[in-house]
């Protein structure tokens, strides 16, 4: 027997279209679900150590919500606040040859040490400290021996600029008025104003006046407030202490 169905109902075409529409709707729901699932995955732009987590699984977050605190394991940045005087004692770190300048870092607690490099110079003054910052990088901090952990308190040693004709004197040689007193060849007192270029735990370093040249001078290590310029003095040479 041959023939064709007289009606689309016999072919169940309405049911087929309804089923196809249901499939399309389900596929759309699936695509949206997959898209939303992809958005729940957060990828850091660097290899990192998760230090803190501010949200829990299932929590709702909005744009701008802080969800975690990460520290890079590729390199650690150390921020060093420096005064204008400190900056004057450093080489010009804006020059290309001073990029990646080596820096030594020491733990405040136990004197462990690491080697870093100058990464960049901040171009603004901090509103609270009124200082400008130098950023130092330590590569692969957790792979160092010993490992350098985030939050470690550090002292930083940076090679300063080269300064010629410096005098190294005990800090007591600088009077309360900021003067250095010395004895001239005529055995009279003379002085000059001085501001230490830098200092350490043992001494101060000042720029020698041009008129004094490079010859050794007899500097007074404990000047008195009663001293006057041109005052005649008797110089007594002290024997070296060999004991």
Enumerate domains of the chain plus CATH numbers: 73-157 (2.40.30.170), 166-219 (no CATH)
Q: What are phi and psi of 116, to 5 degrees?
A: -125, -170
Residue segments in the chain with a per-residue pLDDT below the cut of 50: 240-243
pLDDT tens digits, residue range 45-67?
Answer: 889 988 899 988 888 888 888 99
Residues 6+ apart with CB under 8 A from 108: 153, 154, 155
Strand positions, DSSP E, 1-64: 48-53
How many other CB atoms are found less than 10 A from the CB of residue 79?
10
Strand positions, DSSP E, 37-163: 48-53, 68-72, 75-82, 102-107, 113-121, 132-139, 154-157
pLDDT at position 215 is 77
Cβ atoms of 182 and 220 within 8 Å: the answer is yes
User: Which of the 8 DSSP states describes residue 238?
Assistant: P
Measured between alpha carbons, how far is 208 from 166 in angstroms, rounded to an integer? 6
pLDDT at position 10 is 58
Cβ atoms of 91 and 43 within 8 Å: the answer is no
> pTM of this prediction?
0.61
pLDDT at position 6 is 58
Lookup: tokens for 233: 């003095």
pLDDT at position 22 is 92
* Cis peptide bond prior to 146, omega within 30° of 0: yes
pLDDT at position 88 is 84
Lookup: tokens for 28: 């759309």
* CA dist 71 → 42, 148, 152, 191, 235 (Å): 15, 12, 13, 54, 63
pLDDT tens digits, residue range 158-175?
Answer: 888 888 888 899 999 999
Measured between alpha carbons, how far is 135 from 149 in angstroms, rounded to an integer? 17
């Amino acid at each position: 027997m041959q023939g064709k169905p007289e009606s689309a109902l016999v072919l169940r075409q309405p049911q087929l279209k309804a089923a196809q529409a249901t499939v399309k709707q389900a596929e759309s729901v699936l695509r949206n679900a997959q898209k939303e699932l992809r958005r729940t995955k957060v990828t850091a732009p660097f290899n990192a150590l998760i230090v803190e987590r501010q949200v829990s699984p299932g929590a709702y977050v909005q744009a701008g919500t802080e969800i975690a605190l990460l520290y890079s394991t590729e390199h650690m940045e150390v921020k060093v606040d420096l005064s204008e005087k400190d900056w004057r004692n450093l080489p010009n770190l804006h020059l290309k040859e001073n990029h990646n300048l080596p820096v030594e870092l020491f733990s405040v607690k136990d004197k462990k040490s690491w080697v870093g490099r100058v990464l960049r110079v901040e171009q603004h003054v901090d509103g609270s400290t009124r200082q400008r910052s130098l950023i130092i990088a330590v590569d692969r901090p957790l792979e160092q021996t010993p490992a350098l952990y985030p939050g470690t308190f550090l002292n930083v040693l940076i090679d300063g600029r080269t300064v010629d004709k410096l005098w190294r004197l005990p800090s007591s040689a600088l009077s309360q008025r900021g003067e250095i007193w010395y004895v001239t060849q005529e055995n009279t007192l003379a002085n000059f104003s001085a501001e230490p270029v830098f200092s350490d735990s043992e001494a101060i370093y000042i720029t020698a006046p041009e008129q004094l040249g490079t010859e050794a001078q007899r500097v007074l290590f404990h000047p008195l407030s009663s001293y006057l310029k041109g005052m005649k003095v008797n110089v007594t040479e002290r024997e070296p202490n060999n004991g």
